[in-house]
Amino acid sequence: MDIHQILKLLPHRYPFLLVDRVLEIDKGKSIVALKNVTMNEPYFTGHFPHRPVMPGVMMLEALAQAAALLSFHALDMVPDDKVVYYFAGIDSARFKRPVEPGDALILKVEIDRMKAGIFKFKAKAMVQEELAVEAELMCTMRRID
């Protein structure tokens, strides 16, 4: 899935769109996506000027965006502007290594379960073969007026 397909599914735009490409997707099971981390990210001006590091919350958001893409694909759904995909919870988040400009962050998300409109995922992000972050995510879709 390229950036044009991602833009059709996710409402996020620069500077908050954090998935550049989907590398693999196994319908209803898992997704592998890519976030290229560049020095142009706006948060690097303050986090930290002397040693730029991607904020952990942004890594979790990138994983949630990959999870949204997996959810939409699992449901054969193309969301419209009346659907919002929300975080419902984050458990067991652990940050294992800093992510810096120039890193290719590989986002790996698996559906743990889907029930009553709530999705639970096991998620991790890697830089090369090294674990950067792992967490259990809960997300839900809601229609808005």
Alpha-helix residue ranges (DSSP H) falling in 75-143: none
At residue 117, the pLDDT reads 85
Q: Which residue has the higher pLDDT, 117 or 119?
A: 119
With cut-offs at 50, 70 and 90, classify the pLDDT of residue 145. confident
Q: Which one from 4, 47, 50, 73 is the annotated catalytic residue?
A: 47
Strand pairing partners for 94? 134
Active-site residue flag, 73: no
Query: Considering the domain 3-143 in this protein, what is its CATH number?
Result: 3.10.129.10
Amino acid in the structure at residue 120: K
Report the amino acid identity of residue 112. Answer: D
Domain boundaries defined on the chain: 3-143
Q: What percent of the chain has pLDDT over 70?
A: 100
> Euclidean distance between the first and final Cα of the chain, in Å?
29
